[in-house]
Amino acid sequence: MQPLRDMEIGVMFWAGRGAIEVVRELKALGVRCGQMGIPGGMELTPAVAADWKSALELGQFAVVTVFAAFNGEDYADAPTVARTVGFIPEATRAEREERMLAVSDFAAALGVGSIATHIGFVPEDESHPDYVAVRDLVRRVCDHAARHNQTFALETGQEPAPVLLRFFEDVARENLGINFDPANMIMYGTGDPIEALDVLQKHVISVHCKDGDWPAKGVEGALGVEYPLGEGKVGMERFLRKLKQIGYTGPLNIEREAEDSFVRLRDIRLGVELLERLRGQI
Ligand code: MG
């Protein structure tokens, strides 16, 4: 296929259904690249990888990142996220590490050079046992990914930018990067995403284009609501301008989390139109 252009518009999508059907749906959105999410229960056998590889080749569709989600994760509110998401819950830490390595192998079988996940709420206290365990785990994932020439990207949102930056410096692995999601910064109330991009810029290797609002005031643990692109508080034009200013050239992966697939596809289609228009203006 033709090489991707700078800031090519892409889509964050989920595997777990038939590969040919999913690729056909993506192509109908008018995009030719994106990030593939792997649900926790999805089989990752060589046969499944071969199915996806041929469907993607047939559809001339480039996957730039393979994202891992894990069984048992729940994003209902901040305390639930802290209890269930990523590598923080101790009871599932070992099995999720194993799953992350399997996702890296699966991505390698597809020829994809980047893997990513939400690692969860990392404690700010660097001597906390969960901090130490997750830092060491992230190092092991990076080292495994490096053997496949992959980067490993952490999704932003669950901690303020300076905290994430400190964690990065502590992990100290060349192939560790950030998948920057501006809406998460707002929905988790962790800071203005444009200022965060300034702080984190040298580590940003991929982005989500997602929109959302701040958490409701006075409701303990509440998270903000996600909105279709352009209807939340991110300000897509300033986000794209900032990406351009920091020299980001990778895909703009539209993420829409609506449960209803009709709503999701409609909003992604509108998102593609919005980004096309804004990209022409910046
Ligand atoms: Mg995201």
- Residue 67 three-state SS: strand
pLDDT at position 187 is 96
Residue 1 included in any domain? no
Structure tokens at 159: 């901690």
d(CA 55, CA 180): 28
Domain contains 2: no
Instruction: Reply yes or no on whether the pLDDT at 19 is more than 90.
Output: yes
Q: For the chain, first and last CA: distance in Å?
A: 27
Distance 12 CA to ligand 1 centre (A): 8
Query: How many structural domains is the chain composed of?
Result: 1
Ligand 1 geometric centre to CA of 156 (Å): 8
The tens digit of pLDDT for each residue in 159-184 reads 899 999 999 999 999 999 999 999 99
Q: How far is the CA of 253 from the centre of ligand 1 (A)?
A: 9
Name the residue range of residue 215's domain: 9-279
Kindly give the distance from the C-alpha atom of residue 255 to the centroid of ligand 1, in angstroms, as a whole number: 6
Residue 4 covered by a domain = no
Residue type, 269: R
CA of 149 to the centre of ligand 1 (A): 23
The answer as to whether 199 is a domain residue is: yes
Residue 64 counted as domain residue: yes
CATH number of the domain where residue 159 is located: 3.20.20.150
DSSP string over 123-164:
-S-TTSHHHHHHHHHHHHHHHHHHHTT-EEEEEPSSS-HHHH
CA 77 to ligand 1 centroid distance, Å: 16
Q: Is the pLDDT of residue 271 over 90?
A: yes
Relative orientation angle of helices 193-200 and 236-245, to the nearest 10 degrees: 10
User: What distance in angstroms lies between residue 83's CA and the mean position of ligand 1's atoms?
Assistant: 19
Length of the chain: 282
- Ligand 1 mean position, distance from CA 117 (Å): 9
Q: Is 14 inside any structural domain?
A: yes
Q: pLDDT tens, 92-109?
A: 999 999 999 999 999 999
Average pLDDT, the chain: 96
pLDDT band at 230 (very low <50, low <70, confident <90, very high): very high
**59 CA to centre of ligand 1 in angstroms:** 24
Q: What is the 3-state secondary structure (H, E, C) of 6-59?
A: CCCEEEEEECCCCHHHHHHHHHHCCCCEEEEEECCCCCCCHHHHHHHHHHHHHC
pLDDT digits (tens, 9 = 90+) for 184-228: 999 999 999 999 999 999 999 999 999 999 999 988 889 999 999
Q: Cα of 188 to ligand 1 centre, how many Å?
A: 12
